[in-house]
Amino acid sequence: MTNSNNFGIVLSFFGLWITTYFSIEYQQIIGFAIIFLFGILHGSNDLQLISKINNDSSATIGKKILTYYIAFVLSGIVLFYSLPKIALLLFILISAYHFGEQHWNKLSTKKTLSVEVVFQTLYGLFILFLLFYFHQGEVNKIMEQIIKESIQFVNYTNCLFVIGVLLLVSSFVLFKNNSNFRSEILANIVYLILFGILFRNSNLIWAFAIYFVVWHSLPSIKEQIVFLYGQYSLKNFMRYFKAAFGYWLFSLIGIMLLYIFFKDQEIFKALFFSFLAAITFPHTLVIMKMPNTAKDEGKVLK
């Protein structure tokens, strides 16, 4: 286990401890707050990442990238409005891959590349459906608000079982052919057990916030800083924050407006996750490209 993951375990148990002292309402407020602060921040520097990937920081390419990026986000919002079922399915699948890739970003070998993508997606799906399983009622309400239809027919137990079986099958293939996988498997089994404990004993928003921030956003920020500046340090974090500040503030204002107008309505959670999905789509594409570029330049993301 890395020092970052050891720190993540400590923070996760601290998050569990907090549930014994704060009401569900306060847990949700704190959960949304840390998602706004760190969860949104980790996707706010995509434009600089794209410039780095393309090795072009000129103003012209910057404006072009910004235009495409905004168009991509707006397309995501339109998709949720016009085809919410398809948008929701894409959001779950893309988020699953994005989460799985974060946990297993050291797998990459040409020999097992296709299996890696499948495995990472299944791993992320297992985490998501583990969360859904322990909060079925609230998850159903949020999804029904998004797609405007009942989804009571969804059996999360069966879904989790099927995903688990497929995950095991892909694990066996990687265990045989990928030494990087073998070195990481025990630690990730421990993490899954920890996530199960966290999800079971926390309300939905708090559980998601701890996972999303501690196990996804903070490690991603660290990797992005290494990619952009060569090493992780407080000085480079401040450079990262300064570069991300404009987009982060714009996103924060948008979410805060949603909260002000819809905070007392159940639909706020649906709008929040729809907004999160819209900015997740382009962000995931950027992160997919980033490790390959880093590897080409001889950098190791730790």
- Per the structure, the complete domain to which residue 213 belongs is given by 3-296
Tell me, yes or no, whether 180 lies in a domain.
yes
Q: Tens digit of pLDDT per residue, the chain (302 long)? A: 566 677 888 999 898 898 888 888 888 889 988 988 888 888 878 878 887 877 766 555 556 666 766 777 777 777 777 888 888 898 899 889 999 988 887 776 666 678 888 999 999 999 999 999 999 998 998 888 888 888 877 899 999 999 999 999 999 989 988 888 888 899 899 999 999 999 999 999 999 999 999 999 999 999 899 998 989 999 999 999 998 888 888 878 877 777 777 666 566 666 777 777 777 777 787 787 776 544 444 444 44
Instruction: Identify the residue whose tokens are 């996750």.
Output: 273
pTM confidence score = 0.85
Tell me, yes or no, whether 22 lies in a domain.
yes
* 298 CB-near residues (< 8 Å, 6+ apart): none
Tell me, yes or no, whether 302 lies in a domain.
no
Tell me, yes or no, whether 154 lies in a domain.
yes
- CB-based burial, 126-140: b 16+ in 10 Å, e otherwise: bbbbbbbbbbeeebb
Tell me, yes or no, whether 177 lies in a domain.
yes
The per-residue pLDDT for range 142-184, each reduced to its tens digit, is 888 888 888 877 899 999 999 999 999 999 989 988 888 888 8
Tell me, yes or no, whether 235 lies in a domain.
yes
- Tally the domains of the chain: 1
Residue 154 in tokens: 């969804």
Could you please report the per-residue DSSP string of 237-249?
Answer: HHHHHHHHHHHHH
Q: How far is Cα 74 from Cα 68, in angstroms, rounded to an integer?
A: 10
Tell me, yes or no, whether 255 lies in a domain.
yes
Q: Collapse the DSSP code of 150 into the 3-class scheme (helix H, G, I; strand E, B; otherwise coil) and give the result.
A: coil
DSSP state of 186: H
Tell me, yes or no, whether 237 lies in a domain.
yes
